[in-house]
Amino acid sequence: MASGHTLSETAASIQSGARSATDTVREAIERAEKLQPRLSAFLSTDSQRALAKAAEVDAKRARRQPLGPLAGVPVALKDNLCTAFGATTCGSRILKPYHSPYNAHVVDCLESAGAIIVGKTNLDEFAMGSSTENSAFGPTRNPWDETRVAGGSSGGSCAAVAAGIVPAALGSDTGGSIRLPASFCGVVGLKPSYGRVSRYGLVAFGSSLDQIGPITSTVEDAALIFQVIAGHDPRDSTSVDRPVPELTKALSRPVKGTRVGISEEYFGPGLDGEVSKAVRAAIDLLAREGAEIVPIHLPHMKYGIACYYLIATAEASSNLARFDGVHYGYRTPHPEDVIDLYAATRGEGFGAEVKRRIMLGTYALSSGYYDAYYLKALKVRTLIKRDFEAAFESVDVIASPVAPTTAFRVGEKSQDPLAMYLSDIYTIAANLAGICAISIPCGFDSRSLPIGLQLTGPAFGEEAILSLAHQYQLRTDWHTRRPALIKGT
């Protein structure tokens, strides 16, 4: 891929014959390998398979056979999405030797559309983190400033797009894991509504919270990827059977008349002044273009962090019980007995943050504490969901910051779990409520670090947030700016 080209531009050049899929994919792989020592965005690449798939696209074009909408476009996958080719590690030592026997649903969707998967990207171990520093294979660094984090847990995917390695990647979002790194890296990250995209083949962290979504450099590209991966899948019991609208056509919806909600809960103490200024400037622009700005109140959002870190850790404790050294993945080499097999395998295989969350979740689910913690958190979750439902009776979209700060330095918060958890303070509510949200670039701070604007919509309201985000991008150039790393390589 010519670095910096969008997905739409790349697809069009291959469709027209201006570029070959083989050359495009080769450039992406070479760029990934060249930048790997600096960014650590990838955990694996598969040049042989990718180039073979690209050659198939070129052959089909030469025979004038129909091509899919993503034919020949190189894409990357977060390494918690199962693939029948290559390893699926989840950024963990416990899965380092694991090879899935099947593809995730979204992988099949991408390949059916002609996309070429060039590699699997780095992430916080089992998607548990906000900085990609929890990966067992080292942190991903931010293309805008290599001393800073890329965000997490989909940091590798966002860094790969921001660095111009691939025009699109997939991530997963349990509490902000697409939107936070998208904000830190200056790219677009969409968290779809719960049930809109099949989770089949996604290694589970929090099953009632996880969603898979696209990471791109433009909203138009995000809509195109989303159109390909969204829809009902009977293999996922939470997948909703409802039609997916023609989202690329919905992007032309005008700003005028759109009701944009502003909640002061998103602008309280802890929000960096430069972030607040950039986000409010973006809201002012929408108002000048005819959007109706409506004050709203989300009274239970202040309990979101506590609620999330009870529910998510409880679900993680349950989901990660399967990693026991018996079924698959890492096994301790010399166990004394079966109890030692379980304990040593998990002790050696899991990192510190994963262990912390398993212990928190197990405690919350234990006898005598279930009602006091987990059950109470579920009740608070219902109240948060009702707050959003009430708000969306009077507004179409809610605008807010994505994160309280721009990207922080590598190591700055790694020894302070609470400070790290607070990075997700503005994103987790959308996961608790099961609604959709998107992060788009809206400015830079005084250190030239990207700032993200979050647009949140109701359940299955992707049309509203994508159209407003696209109209914002038509009127600004924040998303067109590229880090110096692109220009210098």
CA distance 402 to 451: 8
Q: Assess if residue 308 is contained within a domain.
A: no
| Mode of pairing for the β-strands spanning 141-142 and 116-121 | unpaired
Q: What pLDDT does 138 receive?
A: 98
Which two tokens mark 299?
């009274």
What is the structure's pLDDT at 1?
A: 44
What tens digit of pLDDT does each residue of 75-101 get?
Answer: 999 999 999 999 999 999 999 889 999
- Look up residue 43 and give its amino acid: L
Angle at CA of residue 16, ends 12 and 22, nearest 5°: 80
Angle at 471 between CA 466 and CA 477, to 5 degrees: 110
Residue 337 lies in a domain: no
* pLDDT of 351 above 90: yes
Check residue 248 and give its pLDDT. 82
Residue 345 lies in a domain: no
> Is 76:116 a contact under the CB 8 Å cutoff?
no
Question: By three-state DSSP, how is residue 233 classified?
Answer: coil
The confidence score (pLDDT) of residue 57 equals: 98
The CATH number that applies at residue 47 is: 3.90.1300.10
- Number of structural domains, the chain? 1
Q: Which residue has the tokens 């027209």?
A: 16
User: Each residue of 369-410: pLDDT tens digit?
Assistant: 999 999 999 999 999 999 999 999 999 999 999 999 999 999
Contact 10, 217 (CB under 8 A): no
Residue count of the chain? 489
Q: Is residue 285 part of a domain?
A: no
- For residue 430, the model assigns a pLDDT of 98
Q: What is the average pLDDT score of the chain? A: 96
pLDDT attached to residue 59:
98
pLDDT for the residue 381? 98
Q: What is the pLDDT of residue 36?
A: 98
pLDDT (tens digit per residue) in 259-291? 999 999 999 999 999 999 999 999 999 999 999
Q: Is pLDDT at 328 greater than 90 in this prediction?
A: no
Please report whether residue 293 resides in a domain.
no
Q: Which domain holds residue 84?
A: 7-264+390-487
Residues 441, 422: Cα–Cα separation, whole Å: 21
Active site residues: 78, 153, 177
* pLDDT class of 2 with cuts at 50, 70, 90: very low
Give the β-pairing of 188-191 and 436-444: antiparallel
Token pair 């997490």 in the structure block, residue: 152
Rg over CA atoms, the chain? 21
Please check the confidence at residue 489 and state whether its pLDDT lies above 60. no
Distances (CA, A) of 105 to 70, 212, 228, 229, 276: 16, 10, 11, 8, 38
Contact between residue 167 and residue 115 where contact means Cβ atoms under 8 Å apart: no
- pLDDT class for 297, splitting at 50, 70, 90? very high
Evaluate if residue 488 carries a pLDDT over 80.
no
Q: What is the mean pLDDT of residues 46-56?
A: 98
Average pLDDT in the 38-52 region?
A: 98
Read off the pLDDT of each residue in 152-157 and give the average, rounded to a whole number.
Answer: 98
Strands 211-216 and 141-142: what pairing?
Answer: unpaired
pLDDT per position as a tens digit, 116-144 = 999 999 999 999 999 999 999 999 999 99
Residue 272 confidence (pLDDT):
98
For 183-200, write each residue's pLDDT tens digit: 999 999 999 999 999 999
CA 298 vs CA 54, 218, 426: distances in Å: 49, 29, 12
Model pLDDT for residues 205-256, shown as the tens digit of each residue: 999 999 999 999 999 999 999 999 999 999 999 999 999 999 888 899 999 9
Q: How far apart are CA 434 and CA 194, in angstroms?
A: 5
State residue 5's pLDDT score: 85
Burial 365-390 (b: 16+ CB within 10 A, else e): beeeeeeebbebbeebbeebbebbee
Q: What are phi and psi of 38, to 5 degrees?
A: -90, -40
Distances (CA, A) of 380 to 209, 215, 311: 15, 30, 10
| Axis crossing angle, helix 304-319 with helix 376-391, rounded to the nearest 10 | 120
Q: Is residue 15 a part of any domain in this protein?
A: yes
pLDDT of residue 113: 98
Whether residue 472 contacts residue 440, with contact meaning beta carbons closer than 8 Å, is answered with yes
Average pLDDT over residues 323-351: 94
Q: Within 13 Å and on the Cβ side, how many CA atoms surround 409?
A: 5
pLDDT score recorded for residue 97? 81
Q: Say whether pTM exceeds 0.75.
A: yes
Asked whether residue 440 is domain-assigned, the answer is yes
- Cα(32)–Cα(200) distance, rounded to whole angstroms? 27
H helix or E strand, kind and range, residue 296: strand 292-296
In a domain, 281, yes or no: no
pLDDT band, residue 485 (cuts 50/70/90): confident
Amino acid at 59: A
